[in-house]
Amino acid sequence: MTKPILSVVIDTYNHERYIEQAVVSAIEQDFPSSEYEVLVVDDGSTDRSPEIVRKFEPRVRLFRKKNGGQASAFNVGIRESHGEIVSFLDGDDWWAREKLIAVTTALLERPEAAALGHGFYEFNDDTRETKLCSPGKGKLVDLSTPEAAREAYLGWLFLLTSALTVRKKMLDRIVPLPDALAFCADTPIAMASMAWGVYLLPQPLCFYRQHQNNLQSVDPTDVIRMQRKAEMNETIFEFTESLLLGLGVREDSVMALMYPHWIQQSRSNLRAFGGPRLRAYRTEIRSLRVEYTNPTMRYRLFKYLVVGGATLLLPPHQFYKFRDWYGRHNLGQVREQFARIR
């Protein structure tokens, strides 16, 4: 094969029920086979996944590695890919036949876009129900302003792994990703892509499979796994914020894109599982920066000394128990008085 235009990177871990469908959907595309390569990175599967993938060699290049999570699998796949464009596919999802021709054409027509996302079908493996998810119309999203960042956040849904196609030169600027990102490693890739601009296609070009073994689908009664997921989400937010600022994205755009969701997630996690008091303090200071762009000095003192002091004095679960009580009794009026008085 001459140097391909596009590389397909499939990450998989214990997907023996699904991996064949994923691979077949990648190699049976309406796209010249000589112009793209297919790589499967097996993240230490203990089932028959590697054996199934080997049936497709040499059309498919299989890379096996010790189990380390999604980011480590992406790092291998990106490093070994030769295409100018990289399309990602999770080993439990699959693509429509026209996927590669659609995304390649769109990126060639839009040189200003660093990456591309698109609509998808959400497929429930238990009920066999299919739900269409689409951005509605084609559009370019970026992080050039806080307003643009808020709109880009709404487009994040259409940049899940199996809908994400990225120019290799952009990926080379952000890899290697931290191995600590065992799942949701597509998040920093998607957000970094939005720093340059991402085009969203309306047509559904992949099938996102929901099943009980999804890494994001954790039984809420499994406290240990729920806590691990909470810590992973915090790691993802921290790394992505640092990544975007390092790429030169405006601080107010980063705040608009990330802080509302980050604050909500951190408060929920700290309330349920506890954690470092400094994390609660930083969460509430982020809240101050989101709620008021130009708070009064009185309100700053209230937030830093009263609220901030409480986060450092009380264990997080007690602080948020008190905060819930404060909200139920409508004591936010006290806070508003501080916010209005100059």
Q: Is residue 337 scored above 80 in pLDDT?
A: no
pLDDT per residue over 117-147, tens digit each? 999 999 999 899 999 999 999 999 999 999 9
Q: What integer is the mean pLDDT of 252-258?
A: 96
Q: What kind of fold does domain 6-210 have according to CATH?
A: Spore Coat Polysaccharide Biosynthesis Protein SpsA; Chain A (3.90.550)
Q: What is the 3-state secondary structure (H, E, C) of 267-328?
A: HHHHHHHCCCHHHHHHHHHHHHHHHCCCCCHHHHHHHHHHHHHHHHHCCHHHHHHHHHHHHH
Structure tokens at 147: 């307003």
Structure tokens at 17: 């029920």
Q: Is residue 326 scored above 80 in pLDDT?
A: no
Structure tokens at 86: 């990289």
For residue 342, what pLDDT is reported? Answer: 44
Q: What integer is the mean pLDDT of 148-153?
A: 96
- With contact defined as beta carbons under 8 Å apart, do 10 and 41 qualify? yes
For residue 288, what pLDDT is reported? Answer: 85
For residue 14, what pLDDT is reported? Answer: 96
Q: Is residue 335 scored above 80 in pLDDT?
A: no
pLDDT per residue over 95-114, tens digit each? 999 999 999 999 999 999 99
Percent of the chain's residues with pLDDT above 90: 76
Strand pairing category for 115-124 and 198-210: parallel
Q: What integer is the mean pLDDT of 1-23?
A: 93
Select the more confidently predicted residue: 47 or 1: 47
pLDDT per residue over 210-225, tens digit each? 987 765 555 667 788 8
pLDDT per residue over 191-210, tens digit each? 999 999 999 999 999 999 99
For residue 25, what pLDDT is reported? Answer: 98
- With contact defined as beta carbons under 8 Å apart, do 15 and 91 qualify? yes
Least confident of 63-77, 161-175, 282-296: 282-296
Q: What integer is the mean pLDDT of 259-278?
A: 94
Identify the three-state secondary structure at position 18: coil
- With contact defined as beta carbons under 8 Å apart, do 15 and 92 qualify? yes
Q: What is the band of 294 on the pLDDT scale with cuts at 50, 70, 90?
A: confident
Strand pairing category for 94-95 and 115-124: unpaired
**Mean residue pLDDT across the chain:** 91
Q: Which residues pair with 89 in a beta bridge?
A: 10
Least confident of 28-42, 50-64, 262-276, 286-300: 286-300
Range(s) for CATH 3.90.550.10 in the chain?
6-210
Burial of 291 (C-beta count, 10 Å sphere; 0-12/13-18/19+): middle
CA dist., res. 247 & res. 262, Å (int): 20
For residue 241, what pLDDT is reported? Answer: 97
What's the CA dihedral at 198, 202, 203, 207 to 10 degrees?
70
Q: What is the band of 341 on the pLDDT scale with cuts at 50, 70, 90?
A: very low
For residue 135, what pLDDT is reported? Answer: 95
Q: What integer is the mean pLDDT of 67-75?
A: 96
Select the more confidently predicted residue: 215 or 297: 297
Q: What integer is the mean pLDDT of 45-61?
A: 98
Q: Is residue 317 scored above 70 in pLDDT?
A: yes
For residue 339, what pLDDT is reported? Answer: 52
